[in-house]
Amino acid sequence: MVTRLIMVTNSIEETISFAALLNIITYTMNILILGSGGREHTFAWKIAQSPLCNSLFIAPGNAGTSLCGINVPISVNDFEAIKTFVIANEIELVVVGPEDPLVAGIHDFFLNDNYLKAIPVIGPKKDGAQLEGSKEFAKQFMVDNNIPTAAYASFTLDTLKEGLAYLDTQKTPIVLKADGLAAGKGVLICNEISEAKKELTEMLAGAKFGTASSKVVIEEFLDGIELSTFVLTDGATYKILPCAKDYKRIGDGDTGLNTGGMGAVSPVPFADESFMQKVEERIIIPTINGLRNAGINYKGFVFIGLMNVGGDPFVIEYNVRMGDPETEVVIPRIKTDLAALFLAVANGTLKDTSIETDDRTAVTVMLVSGGYPGDYAKGKIITGLDKTNGSLIFHAGTFNAKDADDIKTSGGRVIAVTSFGKTIAEAAEQSYKNAALIAYDGKYYRKDIGNDLM
């Protein structure tokens, strides 16, 4: 359309002034994404396609995000540096990827600053971020709003004795959760009460997870199959995004240590219409209403980790951001302009939007560093990225080496390979074909992503 109109102009001057006019009538924004993982590369990839996006910046980003926009070497927790950058670069929308800056109050920081307060931030304020920042807050919120979740009690160092006595009344397995953020490591599932007592003591008296475990939630074990559901809200209304299944353990067949996530599938076959109706009625609506009733004007993603227990959904956890690697399958399945959705969240007009999704199945396989989630080496040269074909390659722990053209590893989770297919098997096969072409010293990945759902 634009090209055709420009073709009928007669001179360079006319073309330029026409382009200038188009810029005035076509609203565009400078957008800043905070974060550096696969989730942020996926956001950057999607937002870069939006006609609403003028310049796209990612702080600090990774080698993948540098293909979609401009990386800025600023930490997500350095609010003052972010402020300086936002003002200097006329940023008009900030999308917060990870939970840390949200729990630390980046949205409040913007609202409390005269220069920043008009700039929308996608992600809740400190009050809403407590859903992830404090397990106890989340549990109390669920109890207050009749949202199905595991029975629980919480304890501090002062009530350690009561906590140990409480454990004597519980069945195993039993779940212990550090109240605060513990980089995904603060949840322990104990098969013996004696083990749970030792862990509770270490968490409360020995500060096993630092200040995050100065309070501990003890929770009933839910036996079922897990599912990640995602909601985008502008504080008044909400849109349900495609759901996904994450593969958290390091080893095939769900064995070994917990990780940030080794792969994901979307949609999830067992999350059919009748199950999702229960999720919406029993969990999503009470969550959105509960936030509003608590006076929390929440703008951003709510990630609800669910357990399907015999066909009934129970909340395992809330996160106040998108999941990773779930984002790598959920966002590619959203056909709607993500920047437009974010603008609607900012303006409170989400109810006037609709989300169109791709019916195909997406599967992502996460390539990780050898040794992850324990100790692993960094700085390994990654090759073969240019040989991949027919998949979306989202970078997580990668960086552009300054001294060479090389892309190197910089984290535990390195690259997510996402593919579409008519079936899970077809999508997984495509991801595995490309995963095999990417090489670096110590590369490891699970070989069974999606198998349990086929």
The interface region with ligand GLY, picked from 16-24, 102-110, 322-330, 377-385 by CB under 6 A, is: 322-330
Amino acid at site 337: D
- Contact set for ligand AMP, span 175-204 (CB under 6 A): 175, 184, 187
The yes or no reply on residue 248 touching ligand AMP (CB under 6 A) is yes
Torsion sign, CA atoms 396, 401, 407, 409: negative
Q: Which does 150 bind (CB under 5 to 8 A by kind): ligand GLY, ligand AMP, none?
A: ligand AMP
Cis status of the peptide bond prior to 373, with omega within 30 of 0: yes
Cα–Cα distance for residue pair 90/88, rounded to 1 Å: 6
The site map against ligand GLY for 47-66 (x = CB under 6 A) is --------------------
Residues 6+ apart with CB under 8 A from 263: 246, 247, 325, 363, 364, 365, 366, 445, 446, 449, 450
The yes or no reply on residue 150 touching ligand AMP (CB under 6 A) is yes
The yes or no reply on residue 434 touching ligand GLY (CB under 6 A) is no
Q: In 311-402, where do the E strands start and end?
A: 312-319, 361-368, 381-382, 392-395, 398-400
The yes or no reply on residue 222 touching ligand AMP (CB under 6 A) is yes
Query: What's the closest the beta carbon of residue 250 comes to ligand AMP, in angstroms?
Result: 13
219: β partners:
152, 175
Q: Which of 263, 313, 323, 397 binds ligand GLY (CB under 6 A)?
A: 323
The yes or no reply on residue 305 touching ligand AMP (CB under 6 A) is yes
The yes or no reply on residue 226 touching ligand AMP (CB under 6 A) is yes
The yes or no reply on residue 246 touching ligand GLY (CB under 6 A) is yes
Answer for the pair 166, 339: CB distance below 8 angstroms, yes or no.
no
The site map against ligand GLY for 324-363 (x = CB under 6 A) is x-x-------------------------------------
The site map against ligand GLY for 115-134 (x = CB under 6 A) is --------------------
- What is the biggest distance separating any 2 CA atoms in the chain, rounded to whole angstroms? 86
Answer for the pair 313, 126: CB distance below 8 angstroms, yes or no.
no
Q: Name the packing angle between helices 126-133 and 135-144 (round to 10°).
A: 100
The interface region with ligand AMP, picked from 70-78, 87-95, 220-228, 420-428 by CB under 6 A, is: 220-228
Residues 6+ apart with CB under 8 A from 256: 249, 250
Tokens of 200: 């509770």
Query: What's the closest the beta carbon of residue 222 comes to ligand AMP, in angstroms?
Result: 4
- Which residues make up the interface to ligand AMP (CB under 6 A)? 150, 175, 184, 187, 219, 221-222, 226, 248, 305, 316-317
Residues that bind ligand GLY (CB under 6 A): 246, 260-261, 319, 323-324, 326
